[in-house]
């Protein structure tokens, strides 16, 4: 372990370590096929309806495949008069199984970079979603052993980050979060006085979309890169800046 002032590095999972949103987009295509959405307008309307129902269901079901499937069922029920035919249910459950059994594919540079970080920092996986599904994906990823702590949470906001840091005995100024979502991995982190590294994923779930204004409060406390392999250098830069400001 080095003499870094960074006491804990948090790392998001979905679309930061491994591909996830692309799986959901493929599942949406399957869903549109199940409902025989033929034209582009039909597909767009169906996806918007599903998104609205998903968003409304997050407080009830949380995030993850189970929530997504329940939202698909609700969408079908609304369209077909609250009676979902058995064959429709079988098709939707088939989509769910396909998603659950899908291979875990790490993004470029993730595995070797995590091994490098493991030698220098205490690492915590901090992710939203269903705990069983997230732990299953982590076990399949081949990088589960690099993390000192696993936190699967229902939401990522200022309160949750404060609670995690309190449990870890780490003050915000010695914490850095890495993730693909400005809404979940960056803005609430810098709001509590910590630092963040934003690694945008090519596709973003609409529920996670926020304005990318450079004048956001705390903008000086987060950096952005396109490559996970850049993280070690960025952490050293954050650490150097913190040391100069100490």
Higher per-residue pLDDT: 44 or 98: 98
Write out pLDDT tens, residues 151-196.
Answer: 999 899 999 999 999 999 999 999 999 999 999 999 999 999 999 9
How high is the pLDDT of residue 209? 63
- In the chain, domain spans: 8-18+106-245, 21-101
| Reported CATH class of domain 21-101 | mainly alpha
Each residue of 28-48: pLDDT tens digit? 999 988 887 656 777 888 889
| For residues 94-112, average pLDDT | 96
Please give the pLDDT value at position 83: 72
Residues 88 and 82: beta-carbon distance below 8 Å = no
Q: Which residue has the higher pLDDT, 49 or 204?
A: 49
DSSP 186: I
What token pair was written down for 200?
A: 């945008």
Rounded Cα distance between 110 and 113, Å, is: 5
CB 212, CB 232: distance < 8 Å: no
The domain 8-18+106-245 is placed in CATH, from the list 3.40.50.10860, 3.40.50.150, 3.40.50.11750, 3.40.50.1000, at 3.40.50.1000
């Amino acid at each position: 372990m080095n003499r870094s002032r960074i006491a804990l590095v948090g790392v998001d999972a979905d679309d930061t370590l491994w591909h996830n949103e692309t799986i959901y987009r493929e599942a949406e295509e399957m869903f549109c096929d199940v409902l025989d959405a033929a034209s582009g307008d039909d597909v767009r309307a169906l996806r918007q309806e599903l998104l609205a129902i998903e968003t409304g269901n997050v407080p009830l079901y949380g995030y993850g495949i189970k929530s997504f499937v329940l939202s698909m069922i609700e969408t079908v029920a609304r369209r077909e008069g609250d009676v979902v035919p058995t064959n429709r249910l079988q098709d939707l459950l088939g989509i769910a199984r396909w998603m659950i059994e899908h291979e875990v594919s790490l993004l470029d540079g993730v595995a070797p970079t995590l091994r490098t970080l493991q030698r220098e920092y205490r690492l915590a996986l901090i992710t939203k979603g269903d705990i069983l599904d997230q732990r299953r994906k982590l076990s399949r990823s081949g990088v589960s052993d690099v993390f000192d702590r696993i936190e699967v949470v229902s939401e990522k906001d200022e309160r949750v980050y404060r609670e995690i840091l309190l449990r870890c005995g780490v003050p915000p100024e010695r914490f850095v979060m890495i993730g693909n979502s400005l809404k979940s991995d960056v803005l609430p982190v810098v709001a509590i006085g910590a630092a963040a590294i934003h690694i945008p994923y090519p596709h973003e779930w609409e529920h996670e979309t926020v304005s990318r204004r450079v004048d956001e409060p705390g903008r000086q406390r987060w950096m952005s890169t396109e490559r996970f392999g850049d993280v070690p250098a960025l952490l050293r830069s954050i650490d150097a800046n913190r040391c100069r400001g100490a």
